[in-house]
Amino acid sequence: MLSRTANDVYWMSRHIERAENIARMLDVTYRMSLLPYRILAPGEKWAEPWALPLIINGLATSYYQRYSDLQAENVLHFMTLDASNPSSIYSSLQTARENARAQRGAVTIEMWESLNDTWLAMRNKTFTDINAGGVSPFFDWVKDRSHLFRGITFGTMIRDEAFSFIRLGTFLERADNTARILDVKYHTLLPSAHDVGGAVDYYQWSALLRSVSAFSIYRKIYRDLITPFRVAEVLILREDVPRSLHACMNEIYEIIQGLSDEGRLEPERLAGEIHALLHYCKTEKIFEAGLHEWLLGFLEKIGALNAEVDKHFLVPSYQ
């Protein structure tokens, strides 16, 4: 398979997954911003929720180059429709569509039509229209279009190398996003002593779970309080939770094993190392090491794996 073809379908799937992840993040942030957080003690400050999407995606510097202050409307516009922001929903869907257009022979007709229809609808949306219809319905639309594309891909595409690279891009992007959300929101949502176990504490942790579609799953596994320890266990180590780090690495390791040959052992070795870390790790060990430090280590390993995938399989990446 040509490296250019692998590169285009891989980044197509990563950008579709990125658009969905941003929609999830912004929707939860918007809903949480409508809640009364808590009464602040004298001299105490509450973390601004609209800073989270910028921090999670590493876009705070880019944002403040455009805007002088942090406002919900500015963040929403920057993260949804700003064509100059390469990680906005608009830019992500545009890039995904261009990658698919460059590889019309590698994707099915149904996949192309679905993605092209999504882009045509997206490019005609204005911020006024989104506000008028409600931001949550817009985010639901983005998620639905992502789900539709994945379903069409699974239902219509031959199981060849292009299909493997599409899946690989999806799960690498998802693993990176889940780790970033858990790390940033864990530190931001740590409550004060008088909030532990209270309504505010519950809504904040439930918002984190909803951002990765894991709230209902959590309630099925644990029927009592939502705690940081259990949230970390669900989103890191449970391999039956679709967006957990363990579930993503199960898929990534299997895919890279199928793509590797004797001359391409380093991506397989790195993927196996990360997979083993998650497969045999315990939540207690993660918290003993420090959740933030553990997640930073995971992100470094995923970054190294991304670099090896680029080096061995793809055109040198600029995306």
Structure tokens at 92: 């992500």
Higher pLDDT, 136 or 261: 136
Last residue of a domain, one of 157, 176, 203: 157
Q: Say whether pLDDT at 192 is over 50.
A: no
Tell me the residue range of the domain where 236 lies. 158-314
* Residue 176 counted as domain residue: yes
* Residue 62 counted as domain residue: yes
Question: Residues 92-145: pLDDT tens digits?
Answer: 999 999 999 999 999 999 999 999 999 999 999 999 999 888 899 999 999 999
Q: What is the 3-state secondary structure (H, E, C) of 50-114?
A: HHHHHHHCCCHHHHHHHCCCCCHHHHHHHHHCCCCCCCCHHHHHHHHHHHHHHCCCCCCHHHHHH
Last residue of a domain, one of 137, 157, 177: 157
**Number of compact structural domains in the chain:** 2
12 and 105 both lie in a single domain: yes
Q: Say whether pLDDT at 314 is over 80.
A: yes
Closest CA to 247 of 236, 255, 260: 236
* Residue 152 counted as domain residue: yes
Alpha carbons 97 and 277: distance in angstroms, whole number: 35
153 and 20 both lie in a single domain: yes
> What pTM was computed for the model?
0.89
Structure tokens at 228: 């940081």
* Residue 73 counted as domain residue: yes
* Residue 319 counted as domain residue: no
238 and 273 both lie in a single domain: yes
Provide the pLDDT for residue 44.
45
| Average pLDDT of span 206-228 | 88
Q: Say whether pLDDT at 91 is over 50.
A: yes
Interacting residues of 211 by C-beta distance below 8 A, sequence separation 6+: 24, 25, 27, 28, 181, 185
166 and 142 both lie in a single domain: no
153 and 165 both lie in a single domain: no
205 and 93 both lie in a single domain: no
* Residue 204 counted as domain residue: yes
5 and 147 both lie in a single domain: yes
197 and 56 both lie in a single domain: no
Question: Residues 29-62: pLDDT tens digits?
Answer: 888 777 655 444 444 445 577 888 898 888 999 9
180 and 298 both lie in a single domain: yes
Last residue of a domain, one of 157, 183, 209: 157
137 and 20 both lie in a single domain: yes
